[in-house]
Amino acid sequence: KRGRLSQQPSEVTLIGHFEGEKDLGEAARGVDRALAAQIKELIKSGEFAGKHQQLSLIHARTRAHTKRILMVGLGKRNDCSLEKIRQAMSKAAQQVRDLGVGSFCTPLIARGLRGISPAEMAQAMVEGIILGLYQFNVYKTEPRDSTRSIQEFTLLEEESRHLKEIQKGIHRGQILAEATNLARDLGNYPSNYVTPTRLAEMAQGMAGELGLECEVLEKPQMEALGMGAFLGVARGSQEPPKFIILKYQGKNGATRPIALVGKTITFDSGGISIKPSEKMEQMKYDMMGGATVMCAIKSVAQLRLPVNVVGFLPATENMPSGTAIKPGDVVKTLSGKTVEVINTDAEGRLILADALTYAIRYRPTVIVDVATLTGACTVALGHQAIGLLGNHRGLLDAVKRASQAAGERVWELPLWEEYYDQIKSDIADIKNVGGRGAGTITAAAFLSKFVGDYPWAHLDIASTAWADEGRPYTPRGVTGIGVRLLVRFLMDSKTHPLFKPLPVLKPDPLLSRSRNKGHG
């Protein structure tokens, strides 16, 4: 809101400060006057140098508008970036919470940093705060200290000039961070809560709230369509599979949509090729591709972006049982291609094969899939970057630009022809594993067989969707990575020549055959 920081009554006032600088920003100068130069004094003492994420608390000695000042270091001005701002704000907000204080005030920090608009700065601040305060404690039944949570914070801006812009940035930041936190929740909830059925219900609920279209294909419909690969994976589970389709129209119906496909395995035991028990409990997050897509579409709808998007979530468990698919079995995919299932633990590519085939029936301009697809992605990139692969230069570059803007790293891996030799089958068209080397690449090579000539990008989030150790604004556990990247990609899509509408083709007759609506 509009107002003067040095007159705003507050429990805590946040002041950002660059390393090695003596001068305070304008808002901070006013506050310092009200505090009889306590801030200057602190900086002079050398106790607070402004190192990135450094924190220092000042209790006001005199009766001032604010009880405390929390100084937060922004690092060197020249090294500062939106990512550094998110990190610093997250640390500061966590500190306020730890103090047991329920609210704080802040000016727009790092004002006038080159190349960064007030709106972007406000967005990054809000993202850092809301993402940094995330906690998952719905299963903690012991009474918690309710004072340790932040109810509100206020960003104060003196000038009316940038007010609108800043408010827009705050709005975006809040929507994106809350959608990311929702994705985190979906992954952190165990698989006995987040079943395919519950996800379908949630998607329908979301659709009702936001005016999206939601269609859920049930098993008989998928059988009629011929989704043999998806149903092959679902065979071992008692939980009914659901194929969730979530559609947002921000433009008229004739405009081709962007298709987002998310791997949605609500629990991956490996099936008959069962996984070792160590860390198997983490396989509840094997649905994060789908959760990412769902939450990105939620944000896009809340932001009313002028794009058409359709999300496809093939949702099932991967379980061993007497009815489960077995190594050596052959399945017929929706595309007609046959797949020899060498390893039932390579189930993600099986369900995605049918989902991608189904997605291209919507004649999208581009397809982006998101999947916790391969453990090999950790071998290749560690936990630092999403694996990026695809068949279209322009699209891959657009994803990279969105990645940079969102602060969610991607790194491209090659899809050279030679890798395709690794997934040749003796008895079927293709097999579902590619041997020892290049596991992330051969998985993507498999997927590429099902996208035809459509521009397609694949994001392997297996190594980044979960963090064993907390990061500045990402606590331990599910990270929610990819939501902000996808939304950014969709925001920018309207300015990208690649996404100019193509001539409208006749609807695919196969598509209209499948258009019987799901329940609810």
Binding region for ligand BES (CB under 6 A): 268, 286, 343, 345-348, 372-376, 433, 439, 462
What is the contact mask toward Mn ion in residues 338 to 367, using x (rule: CB under 5 A)? -------x-x--------------------
Catalytic residue among 172, 349, 361, 484: 349
In order, the DSSP letters of 230-252 are: HHHHHTT-SSPPEEEEEEEESS-
Site for Zn ion in 290-349 (CB under 5 A): 348
CA distance 360 to 365: 9
Q: Are 441 and 391 in contact (CB under 8 A)?
A: no
Whether 256 is catalytic is no
286 makes contact with Zn ion (CB under 5 A):
yes
32 makes contact with Mn ion (CB under 5 A):
no
Stretch that binds Zn ion, among 50-58, 79-87, 285-293, 422-430 (CB under 5 A): 285-293
CA distance 101 to 11: 7
268 makes contact with Mn ion (CB under 5 A):
yes
Cβ neighbours around 420 below 10 Å, total: 17
Handedness of CA 269, 273, 277, 280 (dihedral sign): negative
Instruction: Give me the phi and psi of 193, to 5 degrees please.
Output: -105, -55
| DSSP summary character for residue 501 | P
Shorter beta-carbon distance to Mn ion: residue 347 or 369: 347
CA distance 326 to 314: 20
Size of residue set near Zn ion by CB under 5 A: 4
| Binding at 387: pick from Zn ion, Mn ion, ligand BES, none (beta carbon under 5-8 Å per type) | none
What is the contact mask toward Mn ion in residues 94 to 113, using x (rule: CB under 5 A)? --------------------
Task: Kindly tell me the burial class for residue 158, based on how many C-beta atoms sit within 10 Å of its own C-beta (0-12, 13-18, 19 or more).
Answer: middle
289 makes contact with Zn ion (CB under 5 A):
no
* Least distance to Zn ion, CB of residue 247, Å: 26
CA distance 419 to 425: 13
CA distance 95 to 155: 17
3-state secondary structure string, 111-141? CCCCCCCHHHHHHHHHHHHHHHCCCCCCCCC
Structural tokens at position 512: 């209209």
Owner of token pair 């505090």: 35
Count the residues in the chain: 520
Nearest to 86 by CA among 53, 119, 50: 53
Residue least distant from ligand BES (Cβ): 375
Whether 349 is catalytic is yes
Instruction: Say which amino acid occupies 399.
Output: V
Cβ neighbours around 61 below 10 Å, total: 10
* Least distance to ligand BES, CB of residue 408, Å: 17
Shorter beta-carbon distance to Mn ion: residue 208 or 328: 328
Shorter beta-carbon distance to ligand BES: residue 180 or 463: 463
Catalytic residue among 4, 51, 219, 275: 275
* Least distance to ligand BES, CB of residue 348, Å: 4
Stretch that binds Zn ion, among 241-249, 258-266, 376-384, 483-491 (CB under 5 A): 258-266
317 makes contact with Mn ion (CB under 5 A):
no
Shorter beta-carbon distance to ligand BES: residue 5 or 444: 444
Shorter beta-carbon distance to Mn ion: residue 89 or 370: 370
Shorter beta-carbon distance to ligand BES: residue 433 or 441: 433
* Least distance to Mn ion, CB of residue 283, Å: 8
Shorter beta-carbon distance to Zn ion: residue 310 or 381: 381
Q: How far is CA 300 from the centre of its chain?
A: 13
Q: Are 100 and 65 in contact (CB under 8 A)?
A: no
Residue least distant from Zn ion (Cβ): 268
Shorter beta-carbon distance to ligand BES: residue 301 or 376: 376
* Least distance to Zn ion, CB of residue 146, Å: 38
Distance between first and last Cα of the chain:
42
CA distance 58 to 72: 11
| Binding at 375: pick from Zn ion, Mn ion, ligand BES, none (beta carbon under 5-8 Å per type) | ligand BES
Stretch that binds Zn ion, among 186-194, 234-242, 280-288, 474-482 (CB under 5 A): 280-288
Q: Are 348 and 263 in contact (CB under 8 A)?
A: yes
Shorter beta-carbon distance to Zn ion: residue 263 or 449: 263
460 makes contact with Mn ion (CB under 5 A):
no
* Least distance to Mn ion, CB of residue 344, Å: 8
Size of residue set near Mn ion by CB under 5 A: 3
Structural tokens at position 343: 């390893």
* Least distance to Mn ion, CB of residue 167, Å: 45
Give the CA distances from residue 477 to residues 165, 184, 191, 372, in Å, rounded to whole numbers and listed in that order.
34, 8, 15, 14
Shorter beta-carbon distance to ligand BES: residue 270 or 311: 270
Nearest to 436 by CA among 351, 379, 353: 379
| Binding at 374: pick from Zn ion, Mn ion, ligand BES, none (beta carbon under 5-8 Å per type) | ligand BES
Tell me if residue 186 falls in helix, strand or coil. Answer: helix
Structural tokens at position 427: 């008895």
| Binding at 376: pick from ligand BES, Zn ion, Mn ion, none (beta carbon under 5-8 Å per type) | ligand BES
* Least distance to ligand BES, CB of residue 268, Å: 5
CA distance 203 to 299: 13
| Binding at 441: pick from Mn ion, Zn ion, ligand BES, none (beta carbon under 5-8 Å per type) | none
239 makes contact with Zn ion (CB under 5 A):
no
Residue ranges binding Mn ion (CB under 5 A): 268, 345, 347
Catalytic residues, by residue number, are 275, 349
Residue ranges binding Zn ion (CB under 5 A): 265, 268, 286, 348
